[in-house]
Amino acid sequence: MSIAPSLASLLLICSLLFLSVSADSFYQNFYVTWGGERPQVLQNGDLLTLSLDNASGSGFESINEYLFARIDMQIKLVPGNSAGTVTSFFLSSQGQLHDEIDFEFLGNLSGDPYILHTNVFCQGQGNKEQQFYLWFDPTADFHNYTILWNPQVILFLVDGIPIREFKNLESNGIPYPKSQAMRVHSSLWNADDWATRGGLVKTDWSQAPFIASYKGFRASGCVWLSGNSNCNNDVDVNTWLWQQQLDYAGQGQMQWVQTNYMIYNYCTDFKRFPQGLPPECYLTGDA
C-alpha cells in the first residue's frame, strides 16, 4: 500500500503528464483476467463481450492503474431471464485492505427490473451499499455508467445523471479511498446464492450462455506509473479532478433518482446497525 501524499504534492506530481484513454480499442486498454475464450473483443476492438455458462464466467481489467479518475463505460446487460447473474463494473486496488468503488448489476427474472448495487470500500471495509432500480431497460441498448473519483468526492452517474455522492469526510474521522491506485475491472459471474431475491431464484442454465456487452470506454485519469500519479491539474482541462460536490442541478437530479428509484440505503437500515448508523450517514443527510 502506498503512503498518501498531501493534496498539494499530489497535484504537483499530477502536473507532469495527463493521459486520456480514447474509446477506440479494448485491445490497447484492457486484458482478459479469466474466463478462457468467453471474453471476445470484436469490431476491431470497439466492442467487448463477456460470457457466463455453467462452467465459468469471465472478466477483464485495465492495463493502467489510476490514483483518481473519471471512468466511463457503455454497457448492455444480459437480456431475458438473467436471474442469479451479476455483471460488475468497478475500480479496485489489490490486497486484503483494498479500496474499491462498485457498480454491480443484479440479474432478474424476465420482466422484473434489474437492481443496480453500489458500494464503496476503504482499507478493506465496505458496508456502504445503496441500491436502485433503473428508469429504462438496461438490456435493450447501451447506457453509460460513470465513476468519478477525486480527492474530494466519489460520484456515481448513469447516462450523466448522478445517482450517488460519497464525500471525503476524513476531517470527521471517516476513511476515504485516496492512497491506493486502482484498476478498472469488469466481470460476469454466477451469484445465485444471493443475487436475485436473496438467493431464492437460481440461475436457469438452459438460458446460457449469458452475455453482457461493453463499448465506449473512456478514462480521464491520473495514471499510476512507477510510484507516481501523473495527470494534468489544469482546472480548465480536468474539471472532474477539482469537483468538490454536485451543483444545484446535479443535486436535483440525484434527489429525483433517490426519491423514485432507490430501493435500499444502508444509511436508513437501523435494523442492520442497531448500535447506531455509520457516522457519515448523519453528516451527509442520508439518514
pLDDT (0 to 100) of residue 237: 60
**100 tagged catalytic:** yes
Q: What global pTM score does this model have?
A: 0.90
Low-confidence ranges of the chain (pLDDT < 70): 1-24, 232-237, 285-287
Using an 8 Å Cβ cutoff, are 120 and 128 in contact? yes
Task: Name the amino acid, one letter, at 92.
Answer: S
Query: DSSP characters for the chain?
Result: -PPPPPHHHHHHHHTT--EEE-SS-HHHHEEEEESTT-SEEEGGGTEEEEEE-SS--EEEEEEEEEEEEEEEEEEEPPPS--TTEEEEEEEE-SSTT--EEEEEEE---TTSPPEEEEEEEBTTB----EEEE-SS-TTTS-EEEEEEE-SSEEEEEETTEEEEEEE--GGGT-----SS-EEEEEEEEE-TTTTTGGGTS---GGGPPEEEEEEEEEEEEEEEETTEEE----TTT-HHHH--S--HHHHHHHHHHHHHTEEEEGGG-TTT-TT---HHHHHHT--
pLDDT (0 to 100) of residue 204: 95
pLDDT (0 to 100) of residue 2: 38
Using an 8 Å Cβ cutoff, are 50 and 58 in contact? yes
Using an 8 Å Cβ cutoff, are 252 and 259 in contact? no
In 3D, which of 52, 38, 79, 40 has the Cα closest to residue 208? 52
Taken in order of first residue, the domains within the chain and their CATH numbers are: 7-284 (2.60.120.200)
**280 tagged catalytic:** no
Which residue of the set 37, 61, 65, 104 is catalytic?
104
Which residue of the set 61, 100, 165, 280 is catalytic?
100
Using an 8 Å Cβ cutoff, are 85 and 219 in contact? no
